[in-house]
Amino acid sequence: MILLFPSDVLRPARVDDHFAAEAAAARAAGIEVSYVDHDAMTRPGGAEQAVRRVSGSGDALYRGWMVGSARYAEFDAALRRRGVTLRTGEAHYRRAHELPGWYEALAAVTPLSVWTTEHDRAAFDRACAELGAGPAVVRDHTKSMKHHWDEAMFIPDVADRDGAWAVARRFRELRGDDLQGGFVLRRFERFVSAEVRTWWVDGVCRLTGPHPDALDGKCAAEVDLTAVEPLVAGLRLPFVTVDLALRDDGAWRVVELGDGQVSDRPRSLGAETFVGALI
């Protein structure tokens, strides 16, 4: 197994500081480590340059910054040409990384959602009509702007089409060229706990901990995975994270599913424990 990490921008022979602890833990466990150029990964046609420092061959796991599905597919192909096979192939990455890929399988345990493939007002209005009146949150296929909750995420009532579009338009402006897919509208649900991040390898939950945004670095509650576990296992994805929160009626709900390779590790979860659970 090879663990691939992004290199430091100014010192490409060294790992990006954000992933230094994980790289050190991997080496201590006897795992081969190689570096990739994240900036090159994000450029169309840049995958060959991105992997030029990768040595060795065999199975690999990427731990790095988020990239779009198209760029990841190029990354996957470039590595295969060097004899390196990512544990998460491009099809699995897209299914985990984009909400339309996993929503149907988890519909029973996540807020009602509809989406578009366009970014214009007409497509957004159709999505509003499909979701129906009431509060909602807007995002794209891969990411929200939760740190801009009032101006670019929360919609008090999608029946107010102009008010809803003002929020969606602001979201589109803030995402800019990083906007992935189209709009996603999710029915707003009231949560009474902080989010919990769970880490899954081949459908089995290996770690449970706080979300990286948790200010105190602690889990707010002990999560009940009874309803979620068989659904995540049914996705047959090699490495994912599932973020959950407790709804005001006592049900644990999936807020987000993401590819584990590009999901941030909270600092309170030790790198040695983390790497040991994944390999």
At 214, the pLDDT band (50, 70, 90 cuts) reads confident
Same domain, 31 and 71: yes
Same domain, 9 and 83: yes
Same domain, 14 and 83: yes
Domain boundary among 128, 156, 187: 187
* Domain boundaries, position 55: 2-87
Residue 148 pLDDT: 97
Residue 215 pLDDT: 67
In a domain, 154, yes or no: yes
Q: What share of the chain in percent tops pLDDT 70?
A: 97
Residues 172-190 have a mean pLDDT of 96
In a domain, 275, yes or no: no
In a domain, 121, yes or no: yes
Residues 52-68 have a mean pLDDT of 95
Residue 76 pLDDT: 98
Same domain, 83 and 8: yes
In a domain, 14, yes or no: yes
Same domain, 75 and 127: no
In a domain, 179, yes or no: yes
3-state secondary structure 188-253: CCCECCCCEEEEEECCEEEEEEECCCCCCCCCCCCCCCCCCHHHHHHHCCCEEEEEEEEECCCCEE
Same domain, 100 and 199: yes
Same domain, 121 and 238: no
Domain tally, the chain: 3
**Statement: residue 233 has pLDDT above 80:** yes
Where b means 16+ CB within 10 Å and e means fewer, 58-94 reads eebbbbbbbbbbebbbbbbebbeeeebebbbebebbb
Residue 100 pLDDT: 98
**Statement: residue 219 has pLDDT above 70:** no
Mean confidence (pLDDT) of the chain: 96
- CA 240 to CA 198: how far, in whole Å? 8
Same domain, 238 and 183: no
Name the pairing type of β-strands 84-86 and 58-62. parallel
Same domain, 143 and 242: no
Domain boundary among 28, 54, 87: 87
At 222, the pLDDT band (50, 70, 90 cuts) reads confident
Residues 97-120 have a mean pLDDT of 98
At 279, the pLDDT band (50, 70, 90 cuts) reads confident
Domain boundary among 168, 187, 206: 187
CA distances from 217 to 43, 163, 211, 212, 221 (A): 34, 36, 8, 7, 12
**Statement: residue 172 has pLDDT above 80:** yes
Same domain, 137 and 207: no
- CA 156 to CA 135: how far, in whole Å? 5
**Statement: residue 177 has pLDDT above 60:** yes
Same domain, 176 and 197: no
Residue 241 pLDDT: 98
**Statement: residue 54 has pLDDT above 90:** yes
In a domain, 279, yes or no: no
In a domain, 272, yes or no: no
Same domain, 168 and 195: no
The answer to whether the pTM exceeds 0.75 is: yes
In a domain, 277, yes or no: no
